[in-house]
Every structure is written in structure tokens, then in C-alpha cells.
Amino acid sequence: MIIRYFILALVCLTLAEDEFSPGETATSPNEMKAALPVRYLLFEVNYGEGFNLRRDVYIRMANMVKFLNEEGGQQWVLVLPPWGNIYHWQSPIKQTKIPWSRFFDLDSFRRHIPVMELADWMAVVGTPAVIDEIYYLQTYSEGWVDGQWTERRDIRPCNDPSYYKKVDGEVEGHFWGYTKTIKGKSFECLSVQNEIKTFTDFLRDEAKGQSILIDRGETLTHGRYSEWSKEWWLGRRSIRFSKKLMDIGDEFRKKHLESTDEADLTLMDSDWTKQQKALGSALGGPYLAIHLRRKDFLRGSRKEVPSLSFAAEQIEKLLVEKSLSKVFIATDAPESEFQVLTQSLGEYQVYRYVPTSEQLNEIGDGGVAIVDQWIAAHARYFAGTSVSTFSFRIHEERSLLGFPPDSTYNRLCGEKEDPADCAKEQPGRWFPKYD
């Protein structure tokens, strides 16, 4: 459905706690049907989840808004919760209240659904910004019925102490750091087993307020609109990175890796709705890219995660096999580990993207992660880390750029794994669906 648009008149408010102004995010034009009342969906994800699972939860929420708007009678806007307090972002810089536009191109999002930054929602609804209904999604304390997952939902007592509190008739919470300027009117725990398409009934008919917050949004499943569906890929395709981050990545490719879109056959249409690359059409730059997940993946003795020396052994083998002399490493490893790896690969040229301190301040750890993903996505051959959502997002990016599947869906093996098991458990292949 093509949604017709009008420009929301946004009032620039100076909020005491604000760190970014609506102007920075350039939200308008927000595209809405003038005649229908607007409802706002806000969402939050389990505190410990990382950047790349959160991006998948975005697709769930975005597609839910798309379904709601297609069902008609109401028009919904997805409000994007600022980034911050992500466990993995440990650089000693302030990384809270980060707008999505710092990482992503919101004009691309808006080709899929209407979105706005939290700051813009706050400007529209006034001060304090009131969330009419907050639902904290949770599982059923008694588990599944007869061992079966069936769709159901019920308002229930909270399973765990919640971080939302009712004080003097108002609901208080962390609210992305806007503890004073955002308030809730009501709060419930909702036990739920629903896929997103079913949950639209709840939002449309049972939740009555204008602004609704769904916390623990990852509890809802894609269900029938998972990676095998066109709808999932519409949401995924709409997630384009910010131009600034792609430019940093492109410059690095050109300077160090002899890689340009013209030579690599990775030119993109600026409008993702027009881009349909055949798998196998991209060549990629003359380098190998590896995503080597370390840090918390080393805990819990995952047998699929290689030691540095075993990783180096596999990287060297791939370089020889593919007749390449350069390898780009995307990794969360500390510099000392990266040096060990580099030394083990003595005769090859090993690259890592290291931001200048000015760049780091500007783009943060999230931006560095995206630059790494972007460079890895353009390599002639890629191998990632087992079950890392960081690697999954690179697979998707490469498939959208048109890389042949065999150059994409690969991972390093752990030395404690049976090589036959590793070969069997190479990443699952989900290909873009265009119609």
C-alpha cells in the first residue's frame, strides 16, 4: 500500500535532558494519511541484547506497523528508541541517547513504514511526554500447554520485578534516560505467545491509547513472516546504513583494499525498492574478510569458536585457496589479540578498521561495527563466526549486494569441533525475496 504523506509540523522543544534535537534527525516529512488519527508504537528490547539482534527486533516492529496500516482504520508510526547502554559498547566515550539517524538512513526506512525518532515523538506529544499504555511482554509462568507453543496472550502478574513503578498514579521507568520528561499512564505485564501478525489485533483493538510501549519486543516472533518471506526482506532491505558510515567504509576499501564498487560490481541503487541484485552478480574486492567474534564468545567454552592460532591457520588456507594476499578482519578482539593474529599471518597483509579519536567520538562503537560490516560485506569471500548475529547481518548485506552464496555463508571452525560437524553446520542460507 502506498501511504500518502503530509509533513508533521514539529515543534523544536528544548528539553533539559535532551542530547539531540528533532532537527538533527530530520524526521519530517513523516508520511501519514491526513484523515486518520495517528497512533505511536514505541518499543524496547531486553537489556542485555546486542546491536544486531536489536536490528532484527526492529524488523518485527516495523512489519507489525506495516500490517496495522494495511489493515486500515488506524495509522501507526513506529517511534525509534535511542541507542545506548549497550553492554558491548565499551569505548570510554558517552554512548547514550543516540538517534537512529547516526547509524541508519531513515529516508530508506520511510520507504517501508512511517518512523520517527523518540525526540521527535516527544516534541509532538508535549512535555512531559506521556506513554498511554506500557506492556511488558513475558512468557507464561506455567510454560507451554501440553508441550505445545500455541498463540495466546493474557494480562498476568509480572513474573519478575519490573523496572516500571507506579508512583502517585504515574508510571516511572528508565525510558532511555528520559526519566523526568517521559511518563507512563498505565503499565501491565502481558504473558504472550504471538507472532507479529497476530499481535496486531491487540494493538489495534485492545490497546486503546495513542502511544503504546511494548517492552521486551523480542518476545514476539516473526512467525509466518520470517526470513523466507518477502515481508521480512522488505523490512531488512529498508535498513540502509547512514551515508557517512558507508563513505568511511568505502574510503577504507579504496585506500587499503583496492576495492571500488565499479570494479567489484557492487554498485547500489540509492532507492532500495529498486535494487534487485541477482545472486552471483557481485565480484567483490580482492580481499578476504573474516568476522572473528571474541570477548563474550570466549566464555562458556563454545567449541565452535577457534583459538587465535587456529583462526590464523584457517585464514591462511582460505587466502591460498582464493589466491588473495589481503585479509580484512572485523573483530571485537582487543588490539593485543589482533597483533597475535597479524603476526601469525606474517606474509599476508592484514587490515583492521581503527577509527581516529574524532571519528570514534562521532560514530561511536555502533558506527565502528557498521563500518566493519560494510567493509566485510564487500569482500570477494567472507567467513564469519558461528551463531553470531553480527555475522548474520553481513550475510544478508552480501546477498543484497548480489554475492554468490558460496562466497558468503561460511564460518570459521573451532579446533574442538569435528570438521565434519563444522562443514554440516555452516550458516543457514536465507536469500532475498523480491516479489
Residue 53 as a binder of ligand GFB (CB under 6 A): the answer is yes
Q: Give me the least distance between CB of 381 and ligand GFB, in Å please.
A: 16
Beta strands in 94-181 (DSSP E): 115-117, 129-138, 152-156, 165-167, 170-172
362 is catalytic: no
Contact status, residue 116 vs residue 27, Cβ threshold 8 Å: yes
Q: Does 264 bind ligand GFB (CB under 6 A)?
A: no
Nearer to ligand GFB, 28 or 95 (CB): 95
Binding mask 78-117 for ligand GFB (x = CB under 6 A): ----------xx----------------------------
Find residue 104's DSSP bridge partners: 241
**Packing angle, helices 389-401 and 51-71, rounded to 10:** 60
Among 64-72, 238-246, 368-376, 404-412, which window interacts with ligand GFB (CB under 6 A)? Answer: 368-376
**Whats the size of the chain, residue-wise?**
435
What grid cell was written down for 110? 520511510
Which residue in the block uniquely carries the three cell numbers 532500495?
272
Answer yes or no whether residue 428 interacts with ligand GFB by CB under 6 A.
no
Task: Using CB under 6 A, pick the residue from 5, 17, 46, 50 that binds ligand GFB.
Answer: 50
Interface with ligand GFB in residues 294-313 (CB under 6 A): 296
Task: Tell me if 351 contacts ligand GFB by CB under 6 A.
Answer: no
Three-state DSSP class for 404?
coil
φ, ψ at 108 (rounded to 5°) = -70, -40
Q: Which is nearer to ligand GFB, 92 or 157 (CB)?
A: 92
Q: Should residue 48 be labelled a site residue for ligand GFB when binding is judged by CB under 6 A?
A: yes
Residues 381-400, one symbol each (x = binds ligand GFB by CB under 6 A, - = not), give -------xxx----------
Considering the complex, state which of residue 187 and residue 390 has its C-beta at the smaller distance from ligand GFB. Answer: 390
- Can residue 365 be called a binding residue for ligand GFB (CB under 6 A)? yes
Answer for the pair 299, 397: CB distance below 8 angstroms, yes or no: no
Count the Cβ atoms, other than its own, within 10 Å of residue 109: 23
Is residue 52 a contact point for ligand GFB (CB under 6 A)? yes
Q: Confirm or reject binding of residue 193 to ligand GFB (CB under 6 A).
A: no
Under the binding rule (CB under 6 A), the answer on residue 335 touching ligand GFB is: no
Q: Which is nearer to ligand GFB, 113 or 368 (CB)?
A: 368
Minimum distance from residue 312 beta carbon to ligand GFB (Å): 16
* Shortest distance (Å) from residue 60 CB to ligand GFB: 15
Side chain identity at residue 149, one-letter code = W
- Minimum Å gap between C-beta 365 and ligand GFB is 5
Distances (CA, A) of 55 to 85, 289, 339: 15, 22, 31
Residue 172 has which C-alpha cell? 516511572
In whole angstroms, the minimum distance from the beta carbon of 270 to ligand GFB comes to 26
Contacts of 350 (CB under 8 A, 6+ apart): 326, 327, 329, 341, 342
Helix (H, G, I), strand (E, B) or coil at 18: coil
Q: Which of 59, 65, 324, 369 binds ligand GFB (CB under 6 A)?
A: 369
Q: What are phi and psi of 240, to 5 degrees?
A: -100, 145
- Cβ burial, residue 355 (10 Å; 0-12/13-18/19+): middle
71: contact with ligand GFB by CB under 6 A: no
Set of cell numbers at residue 43:
518499543
Which residues are known catalytic residues? 49
Q: Which residues are at the interface with ligand GFB (CB under 6 A)? A: 48-53, 88-89, 291, 293, 296, 330-332, 365, 368-369, 372, 388-390
